Structure 1
Amino acid sequence: MSDVGAGPIVREPVLRAPANRVSPQAIGFWTVSALIGDVVLVIGALVAWLVIPGAPGWVGLLVLLLAVAAVAHVVLMPRIRYRVHRWEVTDTAVHTREGWIGRETRIAPISRVQTVDSRQGALMRLFGLASITVTTASAAGPITVDCLDADTAAHVVARLTAITAATEGDAT
């Protein structure tokens, strides 16, 4: 006789999304950042096309397609990123999810945290945003939580510092 199906059903744990969204101001920040980069790219391509003597007409079409793609990038990317980007810090782990075309989920146990850094560039300051970077003893590299409200970022850094100081282990 076979015991197949006779035992209890074991369900695999399901990974839930991190609980917190980034700041709504991130949409404006990502829009302006994309706009700056895309304008420079399109203007550079346009100038190159106009300056190169005897450039074929299809190059102009490529510049036009690049401009259309840049507009789509500026309009779509920030909103998609905002829907996807999430983060959470618990007493046991740092959990992030990010991306707008692809998706990356990272979870780092608190016992592996080595450093916690915050960053706030000039454009981020204009939007009242900051990012935190959690460096771990991992070959995958640090975990970054982009575009938090600056006050939230300061509180998260303080909380992570307190949690890691109280956690036994050497983060290696």
Structure 2
Amino acid sequence: MTHTGEDTVHGGVRLRPPRNTLDGRALGWWRTQLLITTAVPVVVLGVLGALIAPARFWLLLPATILAAVGLGCTAILPRWWFRVHRWEVTDDAVYVRTGAFWQEWRIAPMSRIQTVDTVRGPLEQAFRLATVTVTTASSKGAIRIEGLDHEVAAELAQRLTLITGDTPGDAT
């Protein structure tokens, strides 16, 4: 659901901009992900270009272009994502806004939450970050709050578990 104002939706939950930003370390986490994603094909093309003399130009040219685009994206996109991504949890709902080009605003009323999970991949662990995944009965899928400090994520998961346990409804 994309929207810019504050409107009441079913159950009295208000659609409004979430208040919380992600942890600042998310910038480094995103940059590292982009660098790895860029480095793998660049290294493969570079090695092949070094080994296959007749195709050297046709392998090193795309490697150079890919490296330049990857470095540009690494410099620009994480800051942009950081400005856009927001989240908030109230006693009534989980609010999340994500997306760089197409912004997506999602609300999960507490009565619709089925599970709350915390995930920490290897890179997230290195940056002391975590992702909280809130699963609902929605066909749109789970809501993910990425780039949270791992302790904040654990506290958030515990808080959501307590709130949803006390919230009437069958989460369907």
Shared fold (TM-score greater than 0.5)? yes
SS at match of 2:80: helix
> More helix per residue: 1 or 2?
2
| Cα offset, 1:54, TM superposition | 3.2
**What residue in structure 1 maps to residue 33 of structure 2?**
33
Larger displacement relative to structure 2 (63-72 or 99-108) = 99-108
| Cα offset, 1:58, TM superposition | 5.2
**What residue in structure 2 maps to residue 164 of structure 1?**
164
TM alignment of 1:75-114, pairs within 5 A: 75-114=75-114
Q: Could you say if the C-alpha distance between residues 31 and 50 of structure 1 is closer, same or farther in structure 2, counting changes exceeding 3 Å?
A: same
Q: Could you say if the C-alpha distance between residues 39 and 151 of structure 1 is closer, same or farther in structure 2, counting changes exceeding 3 Å?
A: same
Deviations 1:21-72 (A, max 9, x none): 0101111111112112211121123234444563384554332211110101
TM alignment of 1:1-172, pairs within 5 A: 13=7, 15-52=15-52, 54-55=54-55, 57=57, 59-172=59-172
| Cα offset, 1:164, TM superposition | 0.3
Larger displacement relative to structure 2 (58-67 or 84-93) = 58-67
| Cα offset, 1:97, TM superposition | 1.1
Q: Could you say if the C-alpha distance between residues 23 and 42 of structure 1 is closer, same or farther in structure 2, counting changes exceeding 3 Å?
A: same
Give the TM-score, by structure 2 length.
Answer: 0.84
SS at match of 1:146: strand
Larger displacement relative to structure 2 (65-74 or 51-60) = 51-60
CA distance in 2, matches of 1:69, 1:12: 38
SS at match of 1:20: coil
Q: Between Structure 1 and Structure 2, how many residues are aligned?
A: 162
Larger displacement relative to structure 2 (115-124 or 59-68) = 59-68
Which of structures 1 and 2 has the bigger CA Rg? 1
Q: Which runs of 5 or more residues in structure 2 are unaligned? A: 9-14
CA distance in 1, matches of 2:86, 2:103: 11
SS at match of 1:131: strand
Larger displacement relative to structure 2 (112-121 or 55-64) = 55-64
Q: Equivalent pairs: percent with the same residue?
A: 44
Deviations 1:100-151 (A, max 9, x none): 3332221111111000000112221221111100000011110000011111
